[in-house]
Each structure stands twice: as structure tokens, then as C-alpha cells.
Amino acid sequence: MPKPEKIKQPASGTIRRLLKLMLSFFPVMLPVTLFCILFNAAVSAIPSIFMQNIIAAVETSWQSGDWQGVSARILRLVTILAVLYVLSLTAGLVYNQLMALITQGTLKKLRIRLFDGMQRLPIRYFDTHNHGDIMSHYTNDIDALRQMISQSFPQLIISGVTVLILLGIMLYFSVWMSLLIWLGVLVIFLVTKKVGGGSARYFFRQQEAIGKVEGYIEESMNGQKVIKVFCHESESKADFDRLNDELFMVSETANKYANILGPLLNNIGNLLYVLVALGGGLLILSGLPNLSLSGMAMSISIAVPFLNITKQFVGNISQVSHQINAVVMGLAGTRRIFALMDEQPEQDQGYVTLVNATEEHGQLTESETFTGIWAWKHPHQADGTITYTRLAGDVRLYDVDFAYDPAKPILHDLSLYAKPGQKVAFVGATGAGKTTITNLLNRFYDIADGKIRYDGININKIRKPDLRHALGVVLQDTNLFSGTVMDNIRYGKLSASDADCVAAARLAGADDFISRLPQGYQTKLSENGANLSQGQRQLLSIARAAVADPPVMILDEATSSIDTRTEAIVQRGMDSLMHGRTVFVIAHRLSTVKNANVIIVLDHGRIIERGSHAELLAQKGQYYQLYTGAFELE
């Protein structure tokens, strides 16, 4: 649901920006379409003039019955009309087809821009925004925009042009009668504001009520088995009824408003029609002087087309008022889309890059081709020289402070090091700041104070993509993507061959279950691998990290409970992945910790104990308590 209160921007700015954007997408097609729409609108308004002429001709000769006398004039008029109709039809065909192209093309390009922009946003954006809300940019907002571009825009242009032309024609015929119609328009405007406003207000409330009902349904459905076990059905029915009745009430009111708007406008039109007919009759009968641009006297040949004009005029005005809801929604959606597109992308001032290199006599030389040796290429701005450092996997933290929210510091004065091939484990209760460390090493978030160095280089100087290539991460929650099992493993290294992927799966211990899947490595996964067990998903994410083969790994252990046997397999996978790498383990279950070179016990963002497993047990401190199960780890 769009939240218009969030961004207060003038509507004109949003429309201008949208139009500019559309013009840049379709620099030729858009003006052509616009021209066709204008032409089509103009031609559908003009016939009333011809009609007046034809009726005037009929008027002069119907009593004499002299068809021969007027046939030439009438046929000429009809022919011109027919030609105009053909032109208008052509324009109509063209603009309707082009509009379909423009609408969908614009939506596609906006979608792509949104998505591209979103890929560049910092992780902080995703951590601080509801995912459902981000998603609704692509669904609700784009849908509202589609409605506005494909229907409201052409309709508004057509109605606007028609109204203007009709206005001209009306004044051409009679000023007095035009005033009468304007009076009607005023009434229509007031009614639309009142009734249409009411409907908009209640439709908005209906959305809120639906949201509440949806939330309740979702919660109940998730806990349906618990409801059954506690025989809580009647209570949950009663709660639901309350919300449901509320939704019914607002939905009923919203629809009532919306439903009476049609008959109201329609019959105001009818009444206006009567008034115009009566007014025209009075003018003719009383012989009052007519005031008009044409200087024509009021006659039946004016009154009849004028009546048709009235109908057309009112029809177009009510078309506009029917579009208002769609325009309001469309604009709100557009604003939200622009707001997401305007989000500040992730900044990267890094200039140290990761390159392939060859080594001779301890001297590193950059190489164009894959050599298996990686080096950091470090250009020094001061003297213009470039140094190369071999990628080894040495990570050091110096006095690191960090806070997501400056008011609530998470990490204090954290200093530690991991030499290439060493294993560091973090242990501590929930909220101690363990998972935060992963966010800092690969610069999802930047530290507030202190320094982190990778192979002696401050990570702020390293280009983020290169830094992240040099770090592997196995996250706590496994996210798999739609596609085959093979695709998912290859995600770690796009250039990996099938054999590489299978080898990685073997290393992770995932090969066994994959080969038992119906289509093996070609089995399609969907909905985050819903057809796999938790443990199997973890094994796949380990295989994915294994194929990337980075020198430094961060392993954030999964918290969810898996059975002892699967856990042992996952454990073996992790162990082989860790072999020969610098590893940071975020331990949630302590089983991974024992053979770490150093175990770091965190408490409220501070290191309270550090040492090897044996040392820490001997200390009989916090770690000892955790290890013997006296404290909850999670």
C-alpha cells in the first residue's frame, strides 16, 4: 500500500519527471503517439459542427421535400465527415498500438532501473526496510503506474482536448447556453469532490482493514496446528469475525460511494440536458437575441447539435472524474518508485584491486591471464608507484568500534588477528555482536573507529568487489535461488565448469544427497529450495562457497536445529572447507570451535576471554560455563 504521507512532493514535479523519463525512453514514438491522440480527440469532437450544418440543410428543405436541391450539399458534408473519420480511425489505431508499446516499454525500463538501482544499494537499506515493502514497488506501485500510463493519461488528454474544442464550439453557437453548461460542470465538480473524496477515503481505509485481516490470517495459518492442539478454534473464529466485520463495513461504505457516483453524474448530465433543451426552446420561442461567436441566431439547427454536445461534454467530464482515483494511486506509486531510484547507492572509494600475477624471484608481475596466483595492486597516489602484494589471507582488526545506530554501540575496542590459515572462533550470547563481525569484514557496514587490514592493506582502500571476492561467506540463513542445483553451486564462481561444481559439492559432502535427487545436479530448485531439508540447503551453501575458493572464509553457523546425523555431515563439510584457509567462525553451537587457533568470547560487544579451547576450559570462566551447557548460547 503506498504511503503518501512519507514523501511530500508536488505532483507536478513527479509528473514532469515521469514524462521526461518516458520521452527519453521513446523520443520519437511518444510525440507521434501524442499527436495521434490529439488528432483523434479533435476529430471526435468536430462532427457536431457538421451535424449542425447537415441539420440546417435538412431544416431548410424538409418541408419542400426537395432532396435534389440539398443532396449535393449534404453529401459533400458527409463525405468530409467520412474522410475525417477515416483519418481519426487511423490515428486511433496507431495511438492505441503505440500506447501498448510505450506503456509496457516504460514499465520494463522502470523495472530494470529499479532493480539495477536496488542491486547498488547498501545492505543497510535492506536491513532497515521491510522486504514486503520493497517488494511492493515492483507489484503495487508498478501496477498503479501501468493503470495511469495506459488508461488515465490518454483518457485525460482526450477528454481535455475534447472539452476544450467543445467549449469553443459551444461559444461559437451560443454563449448563454454555454454558461448553462458551465453551471452544470460546477455541480459535477462539487459532487465528485464530495462523493469521490468519500470513496477514496474509504478505499484507503479498506486497504488498511485488508492489511489487518491479512496479517491475522497469516498468523493463524502459521499457527494452525497449535490452534488445533489447544482447541482454540472458537476464540480465533471470534477474533477473526471482529476484523472481518470491520473490513466489511469499510468495504461496503467505500463501494457505496463509488457506486452512486456513476448514476449521480449520469443523471446530472440528464438534468443538464433537459435544462439545455428548455433553455434552447425558450431562446427560440422568445426570440431573445442570441450571443455567440458565430453571430448565428438561435435556431433548431443549433439546439439539436448543442444537445449532443452537452451529452459529450458531460460524458468527458465524468470520464475525468472516474480517472481521479487511478491518477492519485498512480502518482503515489510513481513517487515511491522515484524515491527508491533516488536512494543513495553503496559508496566505494577503494582503489586497490585484485589482479592475477606471476611470481619470479619473489617479484610479482601483473598478468592478463589466469595464473592461480592473486595479488593486490596498490597504486600510491603520493609518488605514482604501484606495489603488488600477494593475496595471502592475513586479517587484522585494530581497536574497532562499531554501531548500527550511533546511540547503541555494538562493538568496543575490538582487536584481533588471524594469520593465513588460522582459525578464529567467536562465541557469545545473542546480541554479543558475533554476526556483526561478518558485516564489517566485507564492508556491508563501515566501522566507526579503528582499522581493519587485509594482507596489511586498510580495507577501506580496497575496491569493495575485490575485497568481497577475497572473502567467502557462508551465512546463517541459507538463501538459494531459483534454478538447478548446478546453477546454485556455480553462483560462487560463474566460470566454474560442471566438474568444478561437482568437486566442490564432494568437498562439502553435498554430492551424496544431490545424486539421490530425481534429476541429480539438474534438479530445479524453487522457493529458496523448499523441496530440500534445512541441512541439505546448508550443504549447498557450503558447496557454493567452496567453488568460489577464497583465501578467507567467514562461517556463520546455522542456528536452527538439525538432527545429529545431518549435523555431523554439515560439520564435516565445514571442516573440509576450512582446511588451508583463514577462517572466522561465528559459533552458535560450539561444536565447530574446539580446534580453532583462538576462541574469542564476546559479551556485549567486548572481548571478555580469548585463548585456545584447552586454555579457556582451564580458566573456568564464561567459556567453560557455555561449554558445559550451563548457559544458553542462543
Partner 1 sequence: MIKTLAKSIREYKNVSLLTPVFVSLEVVMECLIPFMIARLVNQIKAGSSLHHLLFSSLWLALMALVSLFFGSLAGLTCATASSGLARNLRKDMFYAIQDYAFENIDKFHTSSLVTRMTTDITNVQNAFMMIIRIAIRAPLMLIFAFVMAFIMGGRMAWIFLVVLPVLSAGLILVIARAMPVFRRVFRKYDRLNASIQENINGMRVVKSYVREDYEQQKFNAAAEEVCKDFTRAEQILAFNNPLMQFCIYTVMTFVLSYGSYTIITTRGLALDVGQMSALITYSFMMLMSLMMLSMVFVMITMAIESGQRIVAVLNEGSSLANPPQPVRQVANGSVDFDHVSFKYNLNADRLVLADINLHIRSGETIGIIGGTGSAKSSLIQLISRLYDATEGTVRVGGVDVRLYDLETLRNQVAVVLQKNVLFSGTIRENLRWGNQHMTEAQMRQACQIACADEFIEQFPKAYDAYIEQGGSNVSGGQKQRLCIARALLKQPQILILDDSTSAVDTRTDARIRQGLKTYLPQTTKIIIAQRTASVQDADRIIVLDSGRINGIGTHQELLEQNEIYREIYTSQNKMEADHAQA
| Of residues 423-452, those binding partner 1 (CB under 8 A) | 430, 442, 444
Nearer to partner 1, 120 or 579 (CB): 120
Query: What ranges in 131-232 are assigned the alpha helix state H?
Result: 131-136, 142-147, 153-173, 175-191, 197-222, 224-229
φ and ψ of 46, to 5 deg: -65, -35
Helix (H, G, I), strand (E, B) or coil at 288: coil
CB 422 within 8 A of CB 597: yes
Does 218 participate in binding partner 1 (rule CB under 8 A)? yes
- How wide is the angle at C-alpha 262 spanned by C-alphas 257 and 263, nearest 5°? 100
Nearer to partner 1, 50 or 398 (CB): 50
CB of 311 to partner 1, least distance (A): 7
Rounded-to-integer distance, Cα 529 and Cα 536, Å: 9
Does 44 participate in binding partner 1 (rule CB under 8 A)? yes
Length of the chain: 634
Q: Binders of partner 1 among 122-141, rule CB under 8 A?
A: 123, 126, 131, 134-135, 138-139
Q: Binders of partner 1 among 106-125, rule CB under 8 A?
A: 107-108, 111-112, 115-116, 118-120, 123
Q: How far is CA 612 from the centre of its chain?
A: 48
CB of 471 to partner 1, least distance (A): 7
Give the closest residue to 185 by CA, choosing from 275, 247, 99, 253. 275
Span from 169-177, 237-245, 369-377, 397-405 in contact with partner 1 (CB under 8 A): 237-245
Q: How far is CA 248 from the centre of its chain?
A: 30
Does 344 participate in binding partner 1 (rule CB under 8 A)? no
Q: Binders of partner 1 among 311-340, rule CB under 8 A?
A: 311
CB 292 within 8 A of CB 174: yes
Does 47 participate in binding partner 1 (rule CB under 8 A)? yes
Nearer to partner 1, 458 or 560 (CB): 560
Q: Binders of partner 1 among 484-523, rule CB under 8 A?
A: 491-492, 494
Q: Binders of partner 1 among 183-202, rule CB under 8 A?
A: none
Answer for which of 103, 147, 162, 290 binds partner 1 (CB under 8 A) is: 103
Does 538 participate in binding partner 1 (rule CB under 8 A)? no
Instruction: Name every residue whose Cβ is closer than 8 Å to that of residue 268 and which is 6 or more positions away in sequence.
Output: 184, 187, 188, 191, 314
Q: Binders of partner 1 among 542-581, rule CB under 8 A?
A: 544, 548, 559, 561-566, 568
Answer for which of 5, 12, 225, 344 binds partner 1 (CB under 8 A) is: 225
Binding-site residue total for partner 1 (CB under 8 A)?
Answer: 158
Q: Binders of partner 1 among 603-622, rule CB under 8 A?
A: 613-614, 617-618
Give the closest residue to 259 by CA, choosing from 304, 180, 318, 196. 196
Does 468 participate in binding partner 1 (rule CB under 8 A)? yes
Q: Binders of partner 1 among 250-269, rule CB under 8 A?
A: 251-256, 258-260, 262-264, 266-267
Up-side HSE of residue 225: CA atoms within 13 Å toward CB? 1
CB of 608 to partner 1, least distance (A): 19
Q: Binders of partner 1 among 1-40, rule CB under 8 A?
A: 40
Amino acid at 11: A
Structure-derived torsion over alpha carbons of residues 358, 364, 365, 370, reported in degrees to the nearest 10:
30
Alpha carbon distances (Å) from 40 to 92, 319, 383, 549, 571? 6, 16, 68, 63, 71
Answer for which of 128, 415, 497, 628 binds partner 1 (CB under 8 A) is: 628
Answer for which of 22, 99, 340, 397 binds partner 1 (CB under 8 A) is: 99
Q: Containing H/E element for 365?
A: strand 363-366
CB of 107 to partner 1, least distance (A): 7
Answer for which of 14, 150, 292, 622 binds partner 1 (CB under 8 A) is: 150
Rounded-to-integer distance, Cα 306 and Cα 2, Å: 43
Nearer to partner 1, 333 or 472 (CB): 472
Q: Binders of partner 1 among 53-82, rule CB under 8 A?
A: 54-55, 57-59, 61-63, 65-67, 70-71, 74-75, 78, 81-82
